[in-house]
Structure 1
Amino acid sequence: MVDNLTNICDPVFGKVDDLISLLGKSKLLHILYLLNIKNEPMRFSDIKNQVKSSSTTVSRRLDELENNGLITRNSSPTIPTKVYYSLTEDAQNLAPTIQSMYDWIIERKIMPN
């Protein structure tokens, strides 16, 4: 029974580790949380201003989120082109888990000084 559980869990643990590693990157959770609570596509400058981070960091995180299938990047057909970011269905499914982490912190009053 234990061997069977180990065989099932090993690949899952690796994927969970990968997800936690991704989510642990600077400002990445903030971006996901922001896109979730706004519940509408957002422009780069709005995301950058809300998460209070450098353009480089926000750009890297958005690329990582897009590469991992958690956000979509859409361009408007206007001139100048406007780029909007929004959550994918996978990210929307992950959102309650992220929200529960924020709630857990708030409930325990584990806030920064």
Structure 2
Amino acid sequence: MRLPVRRALEVCPVEVAVSVLGGTWKLTLVKHLLEGPRRFNELGRLVPLANTKTLTRQLRELEEDGILTRTVHDQVPPRVDYQLTDRGRGLAPLVREMNDWGAGFSAEIEGTDAP
């Protein structure tokens, strides 16, 4: 278990969730993986603002925290698939709620003159 998660365990369950899911693009990656296994480059296309280094780091952290698995297939060219674990699939209701809230917030903001 990563140190930030261990520390969060001493504070509050909300902090544990933030520690596991609070990285750049993590929830977006989980959202896309809820649709099924994805390859690294496919995830990169789905999250075009994420650079390769950040994408790799976030996927590794999600794997270390038991949210997804990484499967390397023995073939040429190499193929790596990512898919959610049962723990990761358990995030589906949370991700859906956050997606819906974000869509509503975006629509509300776009309807105003706010910067």
TM-score per shorter chain, which class?
A: 0.7 to 0.9
User: Taking structure 2 as the reference length, what is the TM-score of the superposition?
Assistant: 0.76
Q: Look up the equivalent residue of 1:75 and give its one-letter code.
A: V
Say whether 1:20 aligns with 2:18: yes
Q: Which runs of 5+ in 1 are unaligned?
A: 1-10
Higher alpha-carbon Rg: 1
Q: Is the 8 A contact 1:105 1:111 kept in 2?
A: no
Q: Aligned runs of 1:43-62 on 2, under 5 Å?
A: 43-52=39-48, 53-62=50-59
Distance 1:15 1:103, change over 3 A: same
The CA RMSD over aligned residues, in Å, is 2.1
- Hey, what does 2:3 align to over in structure 1? none
Q: Identity, % of aligned pairs? A: 30
Instruction: Report deviation, 1:13.
Output: 5.5
Deviation at 1:75, TM superposition (A): 1.3
The one-letter amino acid paired with 1:67 is E
Q: 1:111 to 1:30 in 2, by over 3 A?
A: farther
**How many residues are matched?**
101
2:60 matches 1:63:
yes
Which structure is higher in helix share? 1
What residue identity is the alignment partner of 1:22?
Answer: V
Structure 2 match to 1:32: 30
Q: Please, which runs of 5 or more residues in structure 2 have no aligned partner?
A: 1-8
